[in-house]
Homo-oligomer: A and B are copies of this chain.
Amino acid sequence: MRSDYHANLRQLAELLHAMCEQDRTAISAATYAVVNADIEQAEAALDVVGRVEEMAQQTEQEALRLLALQAPVASELRRVVTAIQLTGHLQRMGALAGHIATSARRRHPQHVVPEPVRPLVERLGSTACAIATSAAAVLETGDPYDAAGLDAQDDALDHLHEQLLAAVLDHDWAHGITAAVDLTLLGRYYERFADNAVEVGRRTIFLTTGETADNWAPDDDG
């Protein structure tokens, strides 16, 4: 019974990790789709998002079942409750990758992203992908230093996001308001994807150390 219990806790952790890996796959495919107006990659991203949704249901049910059957206490109770909260963030990351893919699908065969800002969106995508990789690693290791490192990656993404907004607001912007609106939303989706990944890190820190993330964050945040 007891060893079942620990097997179930491990399974819960593995589900969270697998969701985060799927989020990374989704944001990577969605970025390719939106940068290259590639409808197949857009559909592929949306398929992955569907799987994330299913995994989120499964993870919630598994966590509820663990609480009901095993009534865990202390650190194990915290693990299960945190798993429920992490599921919300990981599901949201999937949904945001889905919005990016949907944006590509809506404009296809037109491009969402005007040629001059494609490298910028590509870097937003690869940074978001790296953040999801880090979040998945933190979920696996529970290492608070790795989790704190997510903040630095998030800062890099915020910087790219600012550059994207600056490009859109530049006097020389020659791609019209539709593209400006699309890019404003795209930038927001990437930003929120990263925010949710950072939140995965923060909750993991709190779980493994009992301390809030601020105590582990690098000082450069002011």
- Where the two chains meet, the residues of A that have a C-beta atom closer than 8 Å to any C-beta of B are 63-64, 67-68, 71, 73-74, 77-78, 81, 84-85, 88, 165, 168-169, 173, 177-178, 180-181, 184-185, 188
Q: A77-B64, A185-B188 are in contact. Are A169 and B173 (CB under 8 A)?
A: no
Cross-interface CB contact of A180 among B63, B84, B85, B177, cutoff 8 Å = B177
State how many copies of this chain the complex holds: 2
Q: Point out the residues of chain B lying under 8 angstroms from A74, CB to CB.
A: 68
A188 → B minimal CB distance (Å): 6
Instruction: Please report the C-alpha to C-alpha distance between residue A88 and residue B88 in the assembled complex, in whole angstroms.
Output: 8
Q: List 18 A-B contacts (CB under 8 A).
A: A64-B77, A64-B78, A64-B81, A67-B67, A67-B81, A68-B77, A71-B71, A71-B73, A81-B81, A88-B88, A168-B177, A168-B181, A169-B178, A169-B181, A181-B181, A184-B184, A184-B185, A185-B188
Instruction: Please report the C-alpha to C-alpha distance between residue A73 and residue B178 in the assembled complex, in whole angstroms.
Output: 52
